[in-house]
Each structure stands twice: as C-alpha cells, then as structure tokens.
Amino acid sequence: MNHCGCCFIVPTKVLLRFARDRRLKASQRRAFAAAARLEKEWRHARQVKSRLARLAAEVLPADLGAAAAAPPHVLVFDCRHGTVLPGAPVHDPAASHDEAPAHAFTETTEVVRFFRTVFGRNSLDGNGMALLSSVHYSVQYNNAFWNGSQMTYGDGDGAIFRDFTSATDVIAHELTHGLTQFTAGLGYEDEAGGLNESISDVFGSMFRQWRKGQTVVQADWLIGSDIMGPVARARGYECLRDMADPAAEHCLSPQPAHFSRYRDGMDPHESSGIPNLAFCKAALALGGNSWSVAGRIWFQALTAQKPAPRMRMKTFANRTRAAATSLYPAEPAVRAAIDAAWKAVGL
C-alpha cells in the first residue's frame, strides 16, 4: 500500500496528454513527458520519507513544549533551474524582485496564519514545523509538489501552465498534503487516495476564498485557474478542477460527481471530485464563509482521530456528520446540511 506523504497538483494523465499533443512545440512535449516520468520516482521517495517520519514520531522521544509555542520559520530556496533540492537560500524573499520566491514566501506565510487563526494549528505538524519552499525547479517544469518535508514549484511551460507559485490555492493544496500526512495519514490509492486529494482541494479552495475575503456565493470554486496559460485558455480550459461542477468541460482534469462512478484503482485526482462536490454543497447550504462552519467540520474530521491510511469515503463522511453534531449541538440544521451534501453524491 502506498502511504504517500504528498502529491502533485497536476495529474499524470494530463501530463501524458500534453506530452503527445502535436500542437505543442517539441520542447514543450518533452517537458510534459519528463514531468510525468519523474512523478513515479518521486512517489516512491515520498513513501519512504513519510514512513520514516511516522516511525520516528511513534518511537523516538521529543520535547515539543518550546516548538509548540513558536511560529514556524518560512524559508525559500532557488533551484536556479536545476534539480538539486532545496537549492540556494533566498535571503529576504519577501522583498525579492523575482515574483516566484516572493509569492512562495508571502502565500506560505499566509497559509500558516490561516491554519493558526482559523483552526488553531501551529504549522502542518501542529508543533511549529519549519516550512521550506524551492522555486524555479528544473526547466519548464509543469508541476508543484510536497515531497514529505518541503514544497517545490516549477515555472510551467508558459503555454499550458504558468508559474505554479502564482496560484494561492495551489500553494495551500500542496501544503495541505503535509497536514494530512501529520494527521489522518491517508494513503494514496483507492478511496483514501481520493480523500487525500480532496482534502487538499478543500483547504486550497478555502484558503483562496479566505485570501480574497469571499463568501461561498462569491467564490468560483475553481482549482488551479490562476496557473492556466494562454494556450490552455484558448482551448477553453479555465481550471484544473471545478469543485462545484467536477465534470465540467472547462476542467483540464474532469472528475466524477457521484460515488456510483467510483472504481478502485481510479486516479486520486479523479475520485476526489466526489468528496469535493460534497464539501461545496455543504458550504453553499450553510452560507457565509466556507472556513467558518463547513471548514471547521472538515478540519475536525481530519485531525481529531487516529491516522487511518485506508479510510473509505463513507467513513470520512460519517466523521463530518459526527463533527457537525459535536461542534454545533444546538444547531441541527448544520448536521442536516452536511448529511444532505454527502447523500447528494451517493454517500
């Protein structure tokens, strides 16, 4: 079983599609093919790293008192289009004239503030873990990923994808894989894999809405719209995924919207559309800001119990139902909204 500690924002199927697309330049096709080929190797490396981290947390003593009180350090490195991580340190990235390190620093810092002020969590591990980001990874690298201990961003090819640090939801999505790694410990295959991806989309979308000060009605619920390049947009693609309409034609990676279409072995980037739509429906039914009620319920369902690497979607759905009752005991309408949202997607 693959206990992947992280994942990529762009699914392999999309990378392979563009690697075969003769309408793109040969150099662009090679860049997509290389990113797809590397993904399998990164998964194996992440799997080993995540297992070691979990084992160390279980068997080794640690004094977390001081760490728990301190805010995390946010550090940025520049790969300078090489592939050695983390790269060269960027001093004072917030003041950099290069948008990539500036965006990575600013938005990672804001993710820290989001988790702390909204959910009371100090960094991804809850104990002030330092957050490292590497930018300008490789040449025309079409992805971003959390490798079990740090973030890495490619610049994109400039046609299908733009710089991956330019999207707040992409940054929060990948960092949330770290949160999942330190809490529910979801694996990366079958239903658990779909949940893993969905949790990252959910918190990525919440963070984007939080940064914009949007209500659930004002939000567009798109994932990755800010990394769509001019060629992708010219072909009618507005985003990677749409949480409100997973099967929409404007999605670069359309998804099923009902559990009846789920099959074991499905790519987690596809099956995540089912719980994504459940969250969107719940948040819209509850109104206001997505992070205020629905977000608190999803956060408790993710963090309040022991790790469950093989968790099924129905189990997570029931966790949110229970969380709605425990967090809002005097408001039965909250649980009713959560229940109705899951039933609407077959769970």
Query: Residue 269 catalytic?
Result: yes
Helix (H) or strand (E) holding 32: helix 26-59
CA distances from 136 to 92, 99, 164, 195 (A): 17, 11, 10, 29
Distance CA 176, CA 199 (A): 7
Task: Determine if residue 265 is left, alpha or beta; phi over 0 gives left, psi from -120 to 50 gives alpha, anything else beta.
Answer: left
**Catalytic entry in 136, 173, 269, 270:** 269
The answer to whether residues 142 and 32 touch, using CB atoms and an 8 Å cutoff, is yes
Distance CA 288, CA 275 (A): 20
Distance CA 49, CA 152 (A): 16
**Catalytic entry in 107, 174, 189, 197:** 174
Query: Residue 44 catalytic?
Result: no
Shortest CA distance to 189 belongs to which of 87, 303, 311, 31?
A: 311
Give the per-residue SS3 of 272-304. CHHHHHHHHHHHHHHCCCCCCCHHHHHHHHHHC
How many H-runs (helices) and E-runs (strands) does the chain carry?
A: 12, 7
The answer to whether residues 15 and 267 touch, using CB atoms and an 8 Å cutoff, is no
Which residues are part of the catalytic machinery? 174, 269
